Amino acid sequence: MRKIIHVDMDAFFASVEQRDNPELRGKPVAVGHDSERGVLTTASYEARRFGVHSAQSVQIAKKLCPQLIIVPVRYAVYKEVSQAVHRIFSDYTDLIEPLSIDEAFLDVTENKKGIGLAVDIARDIKRRIREELQLTASAGVSYNKFLAKIASDYRKPDGLCVIHPDRAMDFIAGLPVEDFWGVGPKTAEKMHRMGIFTGLQLRRCSQQHLREVFGKMGQIYYNFARGIDNRPVETDWIRKSVGCERTFEEDLFEPGQLQAALCHTALELEGRLQKSHFEGQTLTLKIKFHDFTQITRSLTTTQVLRTKDDILPLARKLLEQVSCSPGRRVRLMGLSVSNPRSDEMHRGEWVQLYFDFEF
């Protein structure tokens, strides 16, 4: 039986800011760009009690929590702390799969310290993060990645939860489908219309029906409802996309403004592609309107996309598919390249690949 731990740093960016500035401790803090068009990257637990959360407009957050303290993003600091956390992980196992800058899976079935119980390893990792970095993390322990991830979210913050194989089916039975990995708001809404609200109700659906409704994900949901997840902890990741976004100081709708913004975004994307040594064959345009509704348009080509000259003509074709007007103004524009050729996939250390800029 495998022993998998999922470790998730608690309100990571905000917690680092509170650690480094004692005056912020115990106060509602958010990290982001404090401007009319700014968006938050994370919020402390004190701020979350007011309904403040990541990816939220700064203006909305301030209305929910007038006393909110917004501090600027310090990615270099967060990356340094993340590397320190991973050095702690590596004292126990080399089988580490980073999911992002603040969370990772660890396979401790065979571990460097010869510790028999995974929960003891998780407890020791949490202790060291607290003592060495003055931060807290939540950890989940189980026999696969799906359940370990669910467990780490179960008792946040500073939580530790174990889902034993003998109790897994009962645990999953009472789990809201919204908590299943891979079930977003739209999928949850579709499940609700089908009368599926819990893991037990999902388990009662046939494999064929789930595949008919949800395609390939239907098989995954079928397996998850039964506690099945055979994915290994992968120490090498495959970079799948590189992109950038621009949030405008004022909403745009005039064609000339949008074309200029598209050119700037394509140029920024070219720099990101070169820096990460990435190339792909699919270009995706993301547009967010003034009412926060958003659309994406994609185009796949037989040629690889490396430079602005490769990207911009395709981006213009995608923009032609978007209807903009004074009543449907654009708040944000993003471009990303994905679909790398299989013989040119690049492996390496995890890095932040999607960026959000004020324009």
Cα separation, 66 vs 59, whole angstroms: 10
Cα separation, 107 vs 22, whole angstroms: 35
Respond yes or no: is residue 103 known to be catalytic.
yes
Give the SS3 label for residue 27: coil
Q: Say which of 46, 97, 103, 245 is annotated catalytic.
A: 103
- List all residues 6 or more positions away from 346 whose beta carbon is below 8 Å from its beta carbon: 238, 239, 276, 277, 278, 340
Cα 150-84-14 angle, rounded to 5 deg? 65
Cα separation, 222 vs 211, whole angstroms: 9
- How does DSSP classify residue 139? E
Q: How far is CA 39 from CA 60, 296, 354, in A?
A: 9, 20, 14
Cα separation, 359 vs 261, whole angstroms: 9
Cα separation, 335 vs 316, whole angstroms: 11
- How does DSSP classify residue 177? G
Cα separation, 188 vs 135, whole angstroms: 33
Give the CB-side neighbour count of residue 282, counting CA atoms within 13 A. 10
Instruction: For the chain, report the end-to-end CA distance as a whole number of angstroms.
Output: 51
Cα separation, 134 vs 113, whole angstroms: 23
Are the C-beta atoms of residues 121 and 5 closer than 8 Å to each other?
A: yes
Cα separation, 276 vs 181, whole angstroms: 28
Q: Which residues have a catalytic role annotated? A: 103
